[in-house]
Chain A
Amino acid sequence: MADYPVLEYDVLVVGAGGAGLRAAIEASSTGCKTAVITKSLLGKAHTVMAEGGMAAAMGNVDDRDNWRVHFADTMRGGQYLNNCRMAELHAKEAPARVKELEAWGAIFDRTPDGRILQRNFGGHRYPRLAHVGDRTGLEMIRTLQDHGIHQGIDVYAEHTILNLLMDGTRCVGGFAYDRERGRFKVFHAKAVVLATGGVGRAFQVTSNSWEYTADGQALAFKAGAALLDMEFVQFHPTGMVWPPSVKGILVTEGVRGEGGVLRNKDGKRFMFDDVPENYRSSTADNEEEGWRYTQGDKNSRRPPELLTRDHVARCINREVKAGRGSPHGGVFLDIAWIKEKIPDSVTHIKKKLPSMYHQFKQLADLDITKERMEVGPTTHYIMGGIQVDADTQMSTVAGLFAAGECAAGLHGANRLGGNSLSDLLVFGKRAGEYAAKYAKDHGAGKLTMSQVDEAAKAAVAPFDRGAAGENPFTIQHELQDFMQNLVGIVRIESEMQEALGKIAKLRERAARAGITGNREYNTGWHTALDLDNMLTISEMIALAGIERKESRGGHFRDDYPDKSADWAKYNLRVVQDGNGRPKVEHVTVVPLTDEMKQVIEENK
């Protein structure tokens, strides 16, 4: 075999967003020699984009809040396909994880009595999101980064994992290249944590950065792990729609939390027209009550704009399709109107939503304190991912753990806003803790260098084809285009079948991708290497989407528009068949304990 450097670690963490950094901090704090690999520079991972806040039932703003309400909200939002044990752990542990961030230097917005301020968000009964204006993700990643660098964690910035290395059925590391120099490295580890985020780059209109190419999900699948709930992709209701170059960039739900309202071209607040049965009792039936709720009136119910994301996205989609949309194919999101209610609304909006003000001013020449924004759905998040044990976060492959967006279970069929940042902290910590334990309980596994050689050979193949090969950017753009149109916000069997056919053809073309230049910071090469992961996961999304013949959460079928009681019993799991191809299975939803049933009942 070629002479690649072999780096020895107890725990290897892949990904340096919230989950990866939290896992690394935990693992290294137990004395494990820990490495973090990140595709970008440290502190740039997609967590930085999170805006609204992290959900934790601390009860600082409304003391009626507690873990039981948060648990019930999460399960209702996920349409009861969640792994209930994960939802329980999450609701119970999130407050401690948030307070810990403050002890590590995070500076949250404050309540009048000096505690961490919490804000309203869709699907959360009480103000629950600890936040810093609308840049909470930046605060979180910077806090973890600045804490982590003093812990002796080795950070490998701008490195990408090509494949996981296996000792039989156990994961023992990963084979990587550094993006800057293009050199290969072997990471030999006793335990591996995947924290690679989502899959948004497989879609055309997305809030996700280039990094979101489904790496962790695909690497785990190829290593033999099971994936769960892959049909559930979240389309965030409010992305920018204009100008074209920023289409998809996120507009935080916090705008609606602060009193922003959705209107169609006739000025109508269309969200009042369609409130789902299970949310009717907790939703305001008039505009005045909705406004009072956003201003902290405990006796008011939430405005329909703060219903769950899947529902709001579909309502927007419906308005646009019915010809009632805004000039650029979205609807209007209006926060400027609060000048009728608040004396110095301009200052108020800039203070509460500074980065939204900035974003629209700079990218769209629009002043949100005076004008309405135009927004529409954008691919934001995947609820599905690597199947993990609720307590330990270990996947179905020994020694391989997963946390954050690339793992599945907590969010079921639809994630509530704010539950992602808290997910990263709660399960990032658990993954780090149990990966460290696994590393201590097991010796180093055996490396098989033939696995490395095969991967290296495949990785450099695009250079042999050179300019005569397919342009990797073109392949990526085509995938994004048809995934958006055929496996997007509204799905139908024939279109998803069509997508499968196109994926198969693109896979053949991806195998012919060609690259010019050398291996040093060659973005075309990096894109060519990302294609396989994106195609692997796109296929699973379509396969699971075809299989689930109902509409639930993020999965909406035009040919099966209703929720089915029978389908409520199953999660869909994707595993390898005998030939390494994906196979979809039905697995029974994790049953609720009696106590959980009671908690859900008392919070109905």
Chain B
Amino acid sequence: MSDSVATEKALPSSAIFRIWRGGNGGGGFVDYNTPISSGMVVLDAVHGIQANDANDMAVRWNCKAGKCGSCSAEINGKPRLMCMTRLNTLDLTVPVTVEPMKTFPHVKDLVTDVSWNYAVKKKIQKFTPRKPDAADGTWRVQQADVDRPQEFRKCIECFLCQDVCHVLRDHNLHDEFIGPRFLIYTAQLEMNPIDAADRIPDLKDSCGIGYCNITKCCTKVCPEEIHITDNAIIPLKERVVDRYFDPIARLFGGGK
């Protein structure tokens, strides 16, 4: 057995956090020097600052264990969960910057308006079960057939993948592209062996799957380590291509 203390890098007794403060379109960085201790994560430091120096600081959080996806922010410029970013992984000799996600409208301090995501999900065709396999209204499904959709259902809706996606972040195509979160949401529905709906036409049109040029930024920031690009987006792109752009099928007058 190893003693977990031994693996902990020694931390200084305090550190500076450069946090974005303000709302209503304004704001700027404010530096806070706060005491830190072994094992702390960024959210602990933010809470300490909130309790002692800035009672009115806005920050979302819930579970503090990487399971709810509430405390998304950009730490030293990288989209991350504050509750899962340990201080011993950061350079504390310089201030740690903590900013709100940039892809969504700013509300106040570290809080952004993520309501667009909820509106997008509502537009995706809902789960539609096929006829049950058994008389008691249940289905028979093998584990191997649900491993893949289960991977996508690990998503905690932190929206970090949406935040980092250049189609949304840089090109602002929120009206034409649903973003990686909702591509994996669609993928788990499409790959659920119980679901009978067809979302391929929507993927091509209203979901804008063609905008994704598989740079894999989303996969890199996913705290659940979901293989967003390889396991969800690329297979969905293939389904769209098979349906609409198959040259052989087109040659023989097929395709839909």
Q: Give A residues with C-beta under 8 Å from B.
A: 40-46, 48-49, 99, 102-105, 107, 109-110, 113-117, 132-133, 135, 138-139, 142, 146-147, 149-150, 157, 180, 209-211, 242-246, 249-250, 327-328, 332, 354-355, 358-359, 362-366, 371-372, 374, 471-474, 477, 515-518, 520-525, 527
Contact = CB atoms under 8 A, between A and B. Distances in A.
Contacts of B3: 327
A242 B5 CA distance: 9
Contact of A517 (B37, B56, B67, B146): B56
B66 A150 contact: no
Given A114-B141, A146-B121, A210 B61 contact: yes
B71 to A, nearest CB: 10
Contact of A371 (B1, B50, B189): B1
Contacts of A48: 62-63, 67-68, 156
Nearest to A473: B51
Given A146-B126, A521-B58, A246 B39 contact: yes
**Chain B interface bracket (under 10, 10 to 19, 20 to 34, 35 or more):** 35 or more
A245 B149 contact: no
A177 to B, nearest CB: 15
Interface stretch (B104-112, B160-168, B172-180, B233-241): B104-112
A374 B157 contact: no
Contacts, number: 196
Contacts of A102: 138-139, 194
A114 B140 contact: yes
A523 B57 contact: yes
Interface in B54-103: 55-70, 84, 86
Interface of B: 1-5, 7-8, 23, 37-41, 44, 50-52, 55-70, 84, 86, 107-109, 111, 113-115, 118, 121-122, 126-127, 129, 132-133, 136-143, 146, 149-150, 153-154, 156-157, 188-189, 192, 194-195
B56 A138 contact: no
B157 A43 contact: yes
B181 to A, nearest CB: 12
B235 to A, nearest CB: 17
Contacts of A150: 122, 126
Given A113-B140, A114-B140, A246 B64 contact: yes
16 contacts: A44-B68, A46-B63, A99-B137, A110-B146, A114-B139, A149-B122, A211-B62, A243-B39, A355-B67, A363-B39, A363-B65, A363-B66, A366-B2, A371-B1, A516-B55, A517-B55
Contacts of B109: 521
A209 B58 contact: no
Contacts of A246: 39, 41, 64-65
A585 to B, nearest CB: 36
Query: For the complex, would chain B's binding face be called helix, strand, loop or mixed by DSSP majority?
Result: loop
A327 B157 CA distance: 36
Contact of B84 (A250, A327, A362, A471): A362
A365 B38 CA distance: 12
Nearest to A150: B126
Nearest to B23: A520
Nearest to B158: A44
A106 to B, nearest CB: 9
B127 A44 contact: no
Given A41-B60, A105-B126, A363-B41, 13 more contacts: A45-B62, A49-B63, A102-B194, A105-B194, A107-B150, A110-B143, A115-B140, A135-B154, A209-B61, A209-B68, A327-B3, A363-B86, A524-B55
A196 B219 CA distance: 35
A524 B56 contact: yes
A136 to B, nearest CB: 11
Contact of A474 (B8, B51, B115, B189): B51
Contacts of A109: 143, 150
Closest 10 CB pairs of A and B: A243-B39, A524-B55, A517-B56, A105-B127, A114-B140, A521-B58, A473-B51, A209-B62, A110-B143, A245-B44
A358 B50 contact: no
A525 B60 contact: no
A523 B56 contact: yes
A359 B62 contact: no
A364 B4 contact: yes
Contact of B64 (A110, A133, A147, A209): A209
A275 to B, nearest CB: 27
Given A102-B139, A107-B192, A359-B66, A516 B56 contact: yes
A205 to B, nearest CB: 13
A104 B127 CA distance: 7
B37 to A, nearest CB: 7
A110 B114 CA distance: 34
A362 B66 contact: yes
Select the residue from A210, A245, A364, A518 with max chain B CB neighbours within 10 A.
A245
A40 B70 contact: yes
Contact of A132 (B50, B141, B150): B150
Contact of B146 (A46, A49, A107, A358): A107
Contacts of A45: 62
Contacts of B4: 242-243, 328, 364-366, 371, 374
Given A49-B68, A365-B4, A147 B126 contact: yes
B137 to A, nearest CB: 6
A105 B64 contact: no
A138 B60 contact: no
Contacts of B38: 243-244
Nearest to B185: A146
Contacts of A211: 62
B45 to A, nearest CB: 9
Nearest to A211: B62
Contacts of B121: 146, 149
A458 B136 CA distance: 54
B65 A249 contact: yes
Contact of A472 (B55, B58, B126, B157): B55
A517 B108 CA distance: 12
Contact of B59 (A362, A472, A523): A523
Contacts of B133: 114
B11 to A, nearest CB: 11
A353 to B, nearest CB: 13
Contacts of A135: 67, 154
Contacts of A103: 129, 132, 137
A513 to B, nearest CB: 10
Task: From B63, B86, B132, B156, name the one whose CB has the most chain A CB atoms within 10 angstroms.
Answer: B63
